[in-house]
Structure 1
Amino acid sequence: MSSPLDPKALLANLYHDNHAWLRGWLSRQVRCPQDAADLAQDTFLRAFDAQQLERIEQPRAYLSTVARRLLCSLWRRRKLEQAYLDQLADMPQGYAPSAEDIALVREAIETIDHALEGLPSRVRRAFLLNRLESMPQQAIATLLGVSLATVERDLRRAYLHCLSQTQESL
């Protein structure tokens, strides 16, 4: 018999009461039932990992917040993948990357996306422009409409964030 604060029982109740609603909400967002199902499962996994189930007062608000973050990550990852595919399309006809190369690039994209997760979009964008596009800081400042000092601060913040993510994974 489980106690009232048993995390597994709390998750089971949360899942039973909200899964259909969350999956429907996600289906309207992504217009793909398979993606909605995957995102719903990931949302409940994140909820379980958070170990705060007993403190959730508004389950649907909590679940939709977690799901929105996962949606942003999905869209960001797909945008990066599309940029990679666009670059592949621009390559000479005779060049075709192997399945292994494509898998390595996808893994790298997911690793970068995970490392930058939680940063504001401007900070993330400045970092990617600087590190992946080799864009100078002044050009980034002009493109983003911010000062050079702001770009320097954003890059420092991104570096420190990535460093902390790396240390956490060790």
Structure 2
Amino acid sequence: MSAIAIHHDQIAELFREHKESIVNFLLQKVKCPDTAQDLSQETYLRLLRKDDLAHTDNLSGYLFRTAERLSIDFIRQHQRTAAKSQMLDDELLCPRIQPEDFAILSQQCERLLHAIAGLPSQCRHILLLRKIDELSYTEIAGQLGISEKTVQRQLVKAMLHCHQMLIDPQS
């Protein structure tokens, strides 16, 4: 099959005849009217750059095939760019605690330590046995020789005190 030269006038006429259908075809592929317009122009330019075509009997088919290939290239490029952008966004997150967050946490820890230090001795002891040593109510009651109800009441009292101190350190 020999290649036949096609004139720019023929390409211009072909483009005028099929411009709207090419844009609609591309719009279905890329879902963006501006991109569809740009790709239709690129389709036309690709045909203009060709010195000769092997299939002059089906130029409209060649036109649509060129448009389809351009849309596929655009979608692939868009997906690669989106993937790189996502990777970049993920990489930009600093895994270390930021100074302002560290300052806030440090203040909260200071408040909590101050609140625990301000608890009555037995209440503080019960809180530490429960939260630090992770003992059950039964184990704490047995170790201190008090009832489980007392352990529960003292623990609630300690937690409410600590919570209040975190909210309002002046109280």
Q: Under a length normalisation based on structure 2, what TM-score does the superposition of the two structures give?
A: 0.47
Q: Which has the higher contact order (CA 8 A, sep 6+)?
A: 2
- Structure whose CA Rg is larger: 2
